[in-house]
Chain A
């Protein structure tokens, strides 16, 4: 009986996707092993344990039915928002930018969870709003407020990357929920039109100040060096790379943040375009699967959540890779599953666990 249920449950897990996730995670461990100069310490070993634990966590979360997320979406959102305020208060007390909530056993970064909570909360909002009202004033201001408040709080930390991620995810859900396209176009148009005018009105030092204000965490002087060295690492890798443990940019400290934000460059130097292709293909499979889940899911909440979460994951990937290739400014966004660090890995694996849960619901069609 119980056995039967378990086998059923196990069979419902999309093992192909789990395998892709594991492959990506293990590739990440290999890159971190090389980044430490061929040592498990200090990164690969810790990341490996973390990955193992969080992978199990993901499979557990995959068992959670999507009704649960629907029911508690606002509660979750509220809790995370409270956490953000708490961090802000703590920061004010201790002085300096604060991102962490230290609970003794674990350090939590509420802004990370907000990336997920905003998607779930907005999906729930639109789940109960008829499409006709989506573009009305009453249908517009709550989601905008729900995006703006945490976004502003995260900006205060200051963490431009995460704030953008929250905004991107939120707007993506609004778009998917059927908010009239002309709203996006006109909003986008207005912003685009205003940008050059505003920009030309500023003095050089003010522009710099704006840049620093928007992202104080990134050093504008250091950014140029970062990008140059990163491009050298990627470019010198060539098609097949310099070989495992043979990277010079990474091993000789030319590449900054080689194990976190610029881990893709570390990888590319040793594995070349083929390594990059492997990572992009791996994530491509995962994203395609998530989009497929969204398309198959019958409930408005489920499909909005699945697609919104896919957008959140995509935002991580796109910004990080564009940054290391010199296509985007340097914002501190890690490469999920590959970069060393618990927060991004936790966020992404929780996100994938939720999508797996939705996928199950979509397949069984019993919501």
Chain B
């Protein structure tokens, strides 16, 4: 058609044919290469890529195990899991964040701070990660939000569980609380559960030491996820194994009562079964609310707790160390008897004891006159113990004290325990490179000086005195019971000391006369003590400040009391320490009421009403005064050359 088209066929154009064939061959080669490459990827490397695609597709999602309960000896819950209704938001599904938050706000009233936190988390996290809007919703609100779900895309109601402590503060130090794991913990045990959102583990107390049995084993859900991490469908599930229940030897009612009975004092009460060693009560007040600690601790609450001079964050029962004061005199008595001195050996107490040119005072200025062990212990005559304690010697006293578990750490599931100190000459040499002095023996024999013991140790001491056996405290009820050997102390020595303790409460002139048990036919035997926090100087004596009641609270003596009941066949032993509680009689009254609870709960509760009304009145007055409390470490510093006591111990 168009001019000049040469009619040369390709056949007559060898150059074109050559080049076309060349290109055609090239195409075939590339096609072959592509097929070979594909075969290589799919067949020779197929396994690798199959795994990779499976890795992409399948994600293991943990199912966190339900945490085991902690129950008391009767199976009553001390720590359990309460249904926790939360509401979360998945940002990538939300159409209008502000509108959604407004709608949720109508039901839940979110505070400006909360809104700020939510906005910050939405901005920071990947868009498919849920953001918690609120937790601990009331069932009503939760139900309301569930009804409104269809018009609020991205809103996810979650019915989970949160740790709850029905006993509250009374059990705080014993049980501890739960919290989110720290990165350091994850470094140690690479359990993926630890980085599961919302997972909590034990942070203190039983919760921490028994974390392994309580934790349980996580279940797993194999799910198919898309590239954005959204779950498409479940593949299969291995259900979780809930944590084991941990049963304690604690008596829930007793512990709750003791905590209330302490009132607004700073005190510790330890009650033990002196036949088995079961710890029935271990309470330290004031405390904190573990229910609050297991969520988020408000900063101002934390500051207040740290600053308080009542040490609410410290477990005084196991970690607080105090000079035992006169409660130690049973140990000195047994050392005296053990070194062959007759219980009827007397000395004359004129109110003072002279050593060299120093004067050692008895707490009674007038003196006790002729005193032997049988009346010296109930009257707590210092001069008697100076005299015969010195005769027995520090080694005998220290050895005796250690037989009663003093200065010892027990194998208990507590987060922390202090060993305390029972001093002797070898220790002094190690610690101060100085020889032991006689004055120090005098101090030790009346329970002052270097001695530092925990309320738990005092309770163990009381149990061993009462039973004559080497009672070891137990907290885990389901641990196997081991036979309890007898103390290698002549029973008649123990009988003399027990009789003295009976007289402390029930005899004439006993220091804990006011603390007599009111229960029909049951008696209590005990020993008061007061531990000096501060040396009484001569200036104080002259100014009439020898009586500790005239000192500011933080300089007052600690009041101590150890006891057991019934007298004839002891069942329960108790130690009470009131920080700055002035003297042992105050502690004795608390011990009486706590033991009364075990024998006649109704009577114990009658007393409580009066005391709690009194505390409320004081609290109201204190709030008016609003004095800033200044924190101070528990005094465990050794007191040197104590110049007598002014309290009837």
Q: Could you tell me which A residues sit within 8 Å of B by CB distance?
A: 65, 67, 70-71, 127-128, 131, 172, 175-176, 178, 229, 231-239, 248-249, 252-254, 268-269, 272-273, 276-277, 280, 283-284, 287-288, 291, 294-301, 303, 307, 310-311, 314, 318, 321-322, 325, 327, 365, 367
- Contact yes or no, A295 B10, CB < 8 A: yes
Decide: A178 near B46, CB < 8 A? Known: A252-B56, A253-B226, A307-B20. no
Interface size in chain B (residues, C-beta < 8 A)? 46
How far does the Cβ of B164 sit from chain A's closest Cβ, in whole Å?
40
Decide: A287 near B5, CB < 8 A? Known: A236-B49, A238-B42, A252-B57. no
In the docked arrangement, what's the CA distance between A237 and B30, Å?
22
Collect the chain A residues with CB atoms within 8 Å of residue B39's CB: 273
- Contact yes or no, B56 A367, CB < 8 A: no
Decide: A249 near B7, CB < 8 A? Known: A276-B35, A276-B38, A325-B38. no
Quick one: closest B residue to A318, CB to CB? B30
Collect the chain B residues with CB atoms within 8 Å of residue A283's CB: 31
- Contact yes or no, B30 A235, CB < 8 A: no
- Contact yes or no, B23 A311, CB < 8 A: yes
Quick one: closest A residue to B27, CB to CB? A314
**13 A-B pairs whose Cβ atoms sit less than 8 Å apart in the complex:** A172-B23, A231-B49, A238-B50, A239-B42, A249-B56, A253-B228, A254-B56, A272-B42, A296-B10, A298-B10, A314-B27, A318-B34, A327-B37
Q: How many A-B residue pairs have CB under 8 A?
A: 148
- Contact yes or no, B10 A294, CB < 8 A: yes
How far does the Cβ of A342 sit from chain B's closest Cβ, in whole Å?
25
Collect the chain B residues with CB atoms within 8 Å of residue A235's CB: 41-42, 45-46, 48-50, 52-53
Q: Could you tell me which B residues sit within 8 Å of A by CB distance?
A: 1-2, 4-10, 13, 15-17, 19-20, 23-24, 27-28, 30-31, 33-35, 37-39, 41-43, 45-46, 48-50, 52-54, 56-57, 224-228, 232
In the docked arrangement, what's the CA distance between A256 and B432, Å?
76
In the docked arrangement, what's the CA distance between A238 and B39, Å?
8
- Contact yes or no, B41 A231, CB < 8 A: yes
In the docked arrangement, what's the CA distance between A301 and B13, Å?
13
- Contact yes or no, A284 B31, CB < 8 A: yes
In the docked arrangement, what's the CA distance between A248 and B54, Å?
8
- Contact yes or no, B34 A252, CB < 8 A: no
- Contact yes or no, A367 B1, CB < 8 A: yes
Collect the chain A residues with CB atoms within 8 Å of residue B45's CB: 235
In the docked arrangement, what's the CA distance between A294 and B8, Å?
13
How far does the Cβ of B126 sit from chain A's closest Cβ, in whole Å?
15
In the docked arrangement, what's the CA distance between A294 and B16, Å?
9
- Contact yes or no, B43 A273, CB < 8 A: yes
How far does the Cβ of B41 sit from chain A's closest Cβ, in whole Å?
4
Collect the chain B residues with CB atoms within 8 Å of residue A236's CB: 42, 46, 49-50, 52-54
- Contact yes or no, A325 B41, CB < 8 A: yes
Collect the chain A residues with CB atoms within 8 Å of residue B33's CB: 327
- Contact yes or no, A303 B232, CB < 8 A: no
Decide: A303 near B16, CB < 8 A? Known: A239-B42, A291-B24, A318-B34. yes
Collect the chain B residues with CB atoms within 8 Å of residue A301's CB: 5
Collect the chain B residues with CB atoms within 8 Å of residue A238's CB: 42-43, 46, 50
In the docked arrangement, what's the CA distance between A280 and B28, Å?
10
- Contact yes or no, A297 B10, CB < 8 A: yes
Quick one: closest A residue to B55, CB to CB? A232
Collect the chain B residues with CB atoms within 8 Å of residue A294's CB: 10, 20
